[in-house]
Every structure is written in structure tokens, then in C-alpha cells.
């Protein structure tokens, strides 16, 4: 990803994160709407998960320009998620829910160009997750929007 796209993703994520846990609430709403069976995976405190997800996404977006930092964190996260029973193809729902959340929260500021930048970032994330934890498993990894 080039520096301009990385900056676009980071700036827009900061804006959304500044709106507090509302972003994470909307995300989970969209995520479960895409696949209601995902809800059963979360038997813990959803508010706690919403906070953790925002922190993790903040770290991931801030590390897009630093591949070593990015990869080491994503590898650990991906491995833990295999333990939670997450399948590779479920990350498609994650990506689509994320794009819908950004669109709902940023409105007209979520331009097609910004959407493309987020698709790039998500592709980078899913590629790393696949290599770290699902190597050899074939599944589509592209968010359709
Ligand atoms: C299909 C996609 C995903 C599913 C189904 C999923 C599901 C889960 C589940 C079941 C847990 C453990 C239960 C809980 O803490 O309540 C969890 C924890 C967590 N998830 Fe996800 N997750 C997904 C993607 C992601 C992504 C892409 C990120 C970050 C960029 C993320 C960040 C976290 C964090 C930070 C935790 C807390 C525990 C830990 O760090 O291992 N998740 N997730």
C-alpha cells in the first residue's frame, strides 16, 4: 500500500474510533446481520469484545506502514482466532461488515477512493492471516463491499 492510502485509512479510522464504542456496536450489528450464526461464537461480554476490537484495529491500522510490526501482531491474532474456531471464509463477513460500518459512520466522507484504500488494507490483513494460520486452506478472502 502506498503512503497516501495508508494515511487515508489511518485518518478515517481515527475519526471513527473517536466516536467511541458506537463504531464497534454498529460493526457487530452488521457482522451478525451478514451471518447470524457468528453470534454463537461470542459467549463472553460483548462490550468487552467491542473495546478489544477497536484497540486491535487501531494497532493494525497504525502498523500498516511497518510490515514487521504488522505481521507479528496479526500472526498472533490469527493463531488465537483459529483457537476460537474462526474459519478463513468468515473474514469476508468481517471485511464487508467493516466497510458497511465505515459507510454508516462517515457518510459522504466515505468516498469510493477511501473505500478502495480500506479494501487494500483488508486484503493485506487477510493475506497475512491466511499465511499465518490457514496455509493450505483454500477460501476466498476478498471483501465484496
Ligand atoms: C471472522 C472474523 C472474526 C471472528 C468470527 C472473530 C471472533 C472472535 C472470538 C470468538 C473471540 C473470542 C471471544 C471473545 O473475546 O469474546 C475474539 C476475540 C478477539 N478478536 Fe476477533 N474475530 C474475528 C476477526 C477479528 C479481527 C480481524 C480482529 C482484529 C483486527 C479481531 C480482534 C479480536 C481481539 C483483539 C480479541 C480479544 C482476544 C484476543 O486478542 O485474542 N478479531 N474474536
Domain locations along the chain: 3-133
Å from CA of 73 to ligand 1 middle: 13
> Are the C-beta atoms of 27 and 99 separated by less than 8 Å?
no
Average pLDDT of the residues of the chain: 89
pTM of the model: 0.88
* CA distance to 79, 84, 86, 89, 142, per residue, from 76 (Å): 5, 13, 14, 18, 21
Residue 106, pLDDT score:
96
Q: 54-108 pLDDT, tens per residue? A: 899 999 999 999 989 999 999 999 999 999 999 999 999 999 999 999 999 999 9
Looking from the CA of residue 84, the nearest atom of ligand 1 is: 10
Q: How far is the C-alpha of 89 from the C-alpha of 126, rounded, in Å?
A: 10
Å from CA of 81 to ligand 1 middle: 6
Sequence-distant (≥ 6) Cβ neighbours of residue 27 within 8 angstroms: 50, 53, 97, 98, 101
Q: May I ask the CATH architecture of the domain 3-133?
A: Orthogonal Bundle (1.10)
Q: 117-126 pLDDT, tens per residue? A: 999 999 999 9
Amino acid at each position: 500500500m502506498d503512503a497516501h492510502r495508508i494515511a487515508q485509512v489511518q485518518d478515517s479510522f481515527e475519526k471513527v474510533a473517536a466516536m467511541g464504542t458506537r463504531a464497534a456496536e454498529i460493526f457487530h450489528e452488521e457482522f451478525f446481520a451478514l451471518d447470524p450464526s457468528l453470534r454463537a461464537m461470542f459467549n463472553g461480554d460483548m462490550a468487552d469484545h467491542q473495546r478489544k476490537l477497536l484497540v486491535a484495529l487501531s494497532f493494525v491500522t497504525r502498523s500498516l506502514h511497518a510490515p514487521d510490526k504488522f505481521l507479528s501482531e496479526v500472526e498472533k491474532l490469527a493463531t488465537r482466532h483459529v483457537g476460537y474456531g474462526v474459519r478463513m471464509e468468515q473474514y469476508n463477513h468481517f471485511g464487508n461488515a467493516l466497510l458497511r460500518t465505515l459507510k454508516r459512520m462517515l457518510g459522504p466522507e466515505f468516498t469510493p477512493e477511501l473505500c478502495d484504500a480500506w479494501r487494500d488494507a483488508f486484503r493485506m490483513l487477510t493475506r497475512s492471516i491466511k499465511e499465518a494460520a490457514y496455509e493450505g486452506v483454500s477460501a476466498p478472502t476478498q471483501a465484496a463491499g
